[in-house]
Amino acid sequence: MTSMESAKLNVPVSNSRLSILIVRPDRLGDVIVSTPVFEVIKRHYPRSRLTVMVREAVAPVIRGIPFIDDVLIYDPEDKESRHSGFKGFFRLLSDLRQGGFRIAVILQSERRIALALYLARIRYRIGPFSKIHSFLFYNRGLRQHRSLVEMHEADYNLQLLRRVGIRVGARNIRTRVHIPNQVREDARVWLQQQGWNGEPLIAVHPGMGGSALNWPETHYIELIRAVLKEGTTVLITGGLAEAALLERIRDALGTLNEKAIFYRGARPIDFLGGLFSWCSLVVAPSTGPLHLAVALGKRVVTFFPPIRVQSAIRWGPYLSDESRAAIFVPEAYCGQDFECRKQLCNYFPCMKSLTVPQALEQVRRHLQAAVNEETSSTVHASSAVPVISSRVPSVERQAFEKQESKPELN
């Protein structure tokens, strides 16, 4: 262990008004599985000011989470953004200095941000030791070897908090998002305008960004067709980049289209969360909307490849009760760690081996379970979807400040 790895933080836990920055300017799913870090830090530093650095596209479902005080937008790929380009780097540096951050927890390691944190003289810079810049700019790094996939991504994130003396058990903290009540109401009105009558609704999100192997498009179509024929309304969702996929599904369904609702992602991401909040079940592959559904407390049916770095062990639904998810993985012992070898693999295309009847059986089972839960908990609806709350965030923060702090730092 190096000297900077073994260094101890000199932070008074109970009385300090710390300014802490969490860095995760990544995609939707990556940010959602990072939200347990927000809660754990706020519980250990109840009087701290917690700022989260995320992309603009993700911010709508992050703002309003009770554990977060502020959101710092970082979108350098957008040429119009504040931190884009050479001058944007110095604006980022200025924002970091003005924030007065004493601790930065970097969940996604990026050289540009790491350098800015270093130059901003943030005292404790915590992150995974992996790339060269992490050894140069982090003084509280931790070797993790995430590519070995020994735990869930959320647990890897929580493991970094050991560098500030915080330890928490795996899957003890759920993921969270915040969907404003008005957005939920707008989503309900939109669904009704599309013909939804309030009966059980299943969402199917068939697309993904390509970070993992997906279930075949034809299988999604067969599953949707089977569910529609059983009389259940299906909400088929996709991003703007998936418009062609949704159009192909629409064409394939033919006359069954009148029973389906299509949403093409033209609004901010919290609207998709609003739509999911009215669904009993969500079917999706390894993609951000899957984690959005899980954070909303929804049952899910999902499909994952056997490739190690893409596996459900690291990227699957983060649940303490695994019975709320049906996770399908091909029985293909391809032994691949990083990417599919396609035609060179004897099991290719393995995702096709996950059959529609198998998936349909789980869809039926989880839909019935969800309907039973909704029926039995009507009186307690606010606790059935705990991440959607009408309480002012400061009320929950005050509750944290009343808790006895646990000083674990020297």
Give the pLDDT confidence score for residue 397 in this predicted structure: 37
Give the pLDDT confidence score for residue 17 in this predicted structure: 79
Give the pLDDT confidence score for residue 378 in this predicted structure: 63
Give the pLDDT confidence score for residue 308 in this predicted structure: 85
Give the pLDDT confidence score for residue 393 in this predicted structure: 35
In this structure, the chain runs to a length of 410
Centre a 10 Å sphere on the Cβ of residue 167 and count the other Cβ atoms it contains.
10
Does residue 304 carry a pLDDT above 70? yes
Give the pLDDT confidence score for residue 11 in this predicted structure: 54
Instruction: Report the alpha-carbon distance of residue 314 to residue 151 in Å, rounded.
Output: 6
CATH architecture assignment, domain 3-177 = 3-Layer(aba) Sandwich (3.40)
Does residue 175 carry a pLDDT above 70? yes
Q: Among the listed ranges 185-199, 208-222, 361-375, which one has the minimum average pLDDT value?
A: 208-222
On average, the pLDDT of the chain sits at 86
The β-bridge partners of 105 are: 22, 126
Percent of the chain with pLDDT strictly greater than 70 = 87
Give the pLDDT confidence score for residue 16 in this predicted structure: 58
Which tokens sit at 48?
């701290």
Task: Look at 376 and 118; give whichever has higher pLDDT.
Answer: 118
Give the pLDDT confidence score for residue 388 in this predicted structure: 30
Does residue 92 carry a pLDDT above 80? yes
Q: Are strands 124-126 and 299-303 parallel, antiparallel or unpaired?
A: unpaired
Give the pLDDT confidence score for residue 345 in this predicted structure: 73
Does residue 394 carry a pLDDT above 80? no
Q: Among the listed ranges 100-104, 151-155, 378-382, which one has the minimum average pLDDT value?
A: 378-382
Give the pLDDT confidence score for residue 344 in this predicted structure: 72
Whether the CB-CB separation of 13 and 45 falls below 8 Å is answered with yes
Task: Look at 376 and 25; give whichever has higher pLDDT.
Answer: 25
Task: Look at 347 and 227; give whichever has higher pLDDT.
Answer: 227
181-378 carries CATH number 3.40.50.2000: yes
pLDDT category at 127 given cuts 50, 70, 90 is: very high
Angle at 365 between CA 364 and CA 370, to 5 degrees: 100
Instruction: Report the alpha-carbon distance of residue 248 to residue 127 in Å, rounded.
Output: 43
Does residue 197 carry a pLDDT above 50? yes
Give the pLDDT confidence score for residue 274 in this predicted structure: 98
Give the pLDDT confidence score for residue 10 in this predicted structure: 55
Average pLDDT over residues 14-29: 86
169: exposed, middle or buried (C-beta count within 10 Å: 0-12, 13-18, 19+)?
exposed
Are both 3-177 and 181-378 of the same fold? yes
Task: Look at 208 and 20; give whichever has higher pLDDT.
Answer: 20
Give the pLDDT confidence score for residue 168 in this predicted structure: 86
* Cα–Cα distance list, 299 to 113, 160, 177, 345 (Å): 36, 29, 16, 33
Average pLDDT over residues 216-220: 96
Q: What is the pLDDT of residues 51-89, one digit of tens each?
A: 999 999 999 999 999 999 999 999 988 888 899 899 999
Give the pLDDT confidence score for residue 129 in this predicted structure: 92
Instruction: Report the alpha-carbon distance of residue 187 to residue 272 in Å, rounded.
Output: 8
pLDDT category at 346 given cuts 50, 70, 90 is: confident
Per domain, the residue ranges of the chain are: 3-177, 181-378
